Amino acid sequence: MKVSSKGEYALRALLTLGKQQGTVMTIQEISDKTLVTINYLEQILLQLKKLNYVQSKRGARGGYFLHKNASEINIGEVIRTLEGPLSPMGCASITKYEACSLEEGCQLKPLWSLVRDTIAYVLERTTLEDLLLNRINLIKGEDLIVFKK
């Protein structure tokens, strides 16, 4: 999985709006805080609006604001929607599986599947509120990965 600039900037925009929950922010204000150009940010915010994460208000005091509560915005869902599958390889993807001629007896597929599952585990359990409150902790031991010896 590779998060593109679009995914990164979308999360920055959501964080910026989340810090100002209930406040309408102009695209210029969001751009200044996220360091994303207005033109690119417009495209991203339009996508976030179509996905129902943000809402816009027209007029002199117009701009953008979060449409959902930060606790309802799941980071895994945002990334999957904007970036596609979380799997690092098509053969390990659940939603966009791509067959490989070497798949039978492949010793790498279990690794790619573990990477996918680990990424999904962390992202699916993280909300925008968690990021805003800095509630990101290292998940340890058997809660995350169990290696066979």
- Residue among 67, 82, 60, 62 nearest 1 (CA): 82
* 32-75 pLDDT tens trace: 999 999 999 999 999 999 999 999 999 888 999 999 999 999 99
Q: Which residue has the higher pLDDT, 86 or 30?
A: 30
115: buried, middle or exposed (CB in 10 Å: 19+, 13-18, 0-12)? middle
Q: Which CATH number fits domain 5-66: 1.10.10.60, 3.40.50.970, 1.10.10.10, 3.40.50.300?
A: 1.10.10.10
Query: What is the pTM for the complete model shown?
Result: 0.81
Ordered by start, the domain boundaries in the chain are: 5-66, 85-143
Q: Is the pLDDT of residue 106 over 80?
A: no
Q: Is the pLDDT of residue 118 over 70?
A: yes
Contact (CB, 8 A) for 100 and 106: yes
d(C-alpha 118, C-alpha 109), whole Å? 14
- Please list the helix, strand and coil fractions of the chain in percent, rounded to the nearest 5, in that order: 50, 5, 40
